[in-house]
Structure 1
């Protein structure tokens, strides 16, 4: 029985909550947290596009699986996910979403050019939350990872978000943020993501770099959309304009990037890193 005048322990309160209201915590929690090599801020925070009081806080990390998970039969989910909000509930101001990938899964996604996971490699130092010597080595591997795969993936993500803005995607129209639609006539945050993807993809393809946080005209034009300072037709025009430029840059053959990652270098580093990590923990 709870004593008068004292709140019950948080663990007791959580234990009595319906499963549908519990925060999300799934995957290899103990393995991920005890073998983490790198974690950075991601999402709007690392892009420099967060608006105080409106955005949640996103983090992404990388961990090394155990020897038993990689060469034995121990189960592995290849990730750990923690969210303040329960499953199906949209994150909001003050909420934290954390995803930590196994090193093998992380590199598969990064080599495929996934825009979100690439930010871990290019996040500025003040956005780095965890970084071991192995994490530093992983970030130094970026030139062997980054390729035109990234440009193609940025373009694909842009197209997907554009289609959802127009309601022509098989997934339907954007389902979230009705308050933004009511205020501005469209989901300004979603539109700004589409524009950002195009601008960052264009930078990657034309320069071989990814600058974080974004700045200058790129930041200004994205934030005008995100704050609802331009109508939907103008936001869509900006998205379409950068889409044309990105597609042209992918086709013109002038990119400094290779067509695909240097998988020989990546695989050699991955094998050596697992062996060194396991030797260190034994």
Structure 2
């Protein structure tokens, strides 16, 4: 592994000592992974020492990759990012689809969790709002654009999928998954992980060439329309409860600095 500004020994020490929640967030947790082809993606959330919150030091995230920067991850590789709690929360209240996953992963996908991490998951509703619909839409459209605008595999790191299937089936799978999960979140206030059937199998089939690009685009278009409607009709509040979020952040930091330790 090569060092970057986000993977220094100092940052690793902060992440190791102060992580409150760490879990799998990639295709494995969605249940859409293809055996022998996918790496493992994990995300963590850590508190910062007082000097990084009230002083001039700064910690936003710690990054670890099995492979050096610029080298594509492969089967068995680990891609880990651990956000500071404050950065994670800034992303979560906007409805970032990937950042929200630690709130919903099943217990067996959790690598590390402290009491503060448990409390965060128990208060997931404070960060959820219709704003997430805009983010899921944006991510869906980005995946679709990557798939459609690069039909010959140029400027993509998966040209072998283009050669096999005629389009990047991984982008297609992400596109459909994001639509499904965005709709579920706005309708129910939660995301089921792994994805429920029949869509989990459908996406796995899509990733293996079992569905055409046109089929995937048609499904995505219908989900896109539903998301657009739900942005105004969802039972979720229009905005996250920022008063509650800020109070929770203060409480979490002060409690940890007073001596809360991870579960054994």
In the superposition, the TM-score normalised over structure 2's length comes to: 0.92
Q: Which residue of 2 aligns with 1:60?
A: 43
Q: Which residue of 2 aligns with 1:162?
A: 144
Are 1:209 and 2:190 matched, yes or no?
Answer: yes
Shift of 1:54: 0.5
Q: Which residue of 2 aligns with 1:270?
A: 249
In 2, the alpha carbon distance for the partners of 1:47 and 1:60 equals 14
Shift of 1:239: 1.6
Shift of 1:98: 0.4
* More displaced stretch, 79-88 vs 233-242: 233-242
Structure showing greater Rg: 1
Instruction: Give the ranges of 4+ consecutive aligned residues of structure 1 lying more than 4 Å apart after TM superposition.
Output: none
Q: Which residue of 1 aligns with 2:133?
A: 151
Shift of 1:281: 6.8
Verify the 8 A CA contact 1:38 1:62 in the aligned structure 2: yes
Counterpart secondary structure, 2:33: coil
Are 1:41 and 2:20 matched, yes or no?
Answer: no
Counterpart secondary structure, 1:204: helix
Q: Which has the higher contact order (CA 8 A, sep 6+)?
A: 2
Counterpart secondary structure, 1:219: helix
Shift of 1:221: 2.4
In 2, the alpha carbon distance for the partners of 1:147 and 1:44 equals 24
CA RMSD of aligned residues (A): 1.9
Q: Which residue of 2 aligns with 1:30?
A: 13
Verify the 8 A CA contact 2:33 2:204 in the aligned structure 1: no
> What does 1:226-265 correspond to in 2, within 5 Å?
226-251=207-232, 253=233, 255-265=234-244
Are 1:123 and 2:102 matched, yes or no?
Answer: no
In 1, the alpha carbon distance for the partners of 2:115 and 2:48 equals 16
Q: Which residue of 2 aligns with 1:86?
A: 68
Shift of 1:64: 0.5
Q: 1:23 to 1:275 in 2, by over 3 A?
A: closer
Counterpart secondary structure, 1:130: strand
Unaligned stretches of 5+ residues in structure 2: none
Q: 1:161 to 1:26 in 2, by over 3 A?
A: same
Match of 2:203 among 222, 227, 239: 222
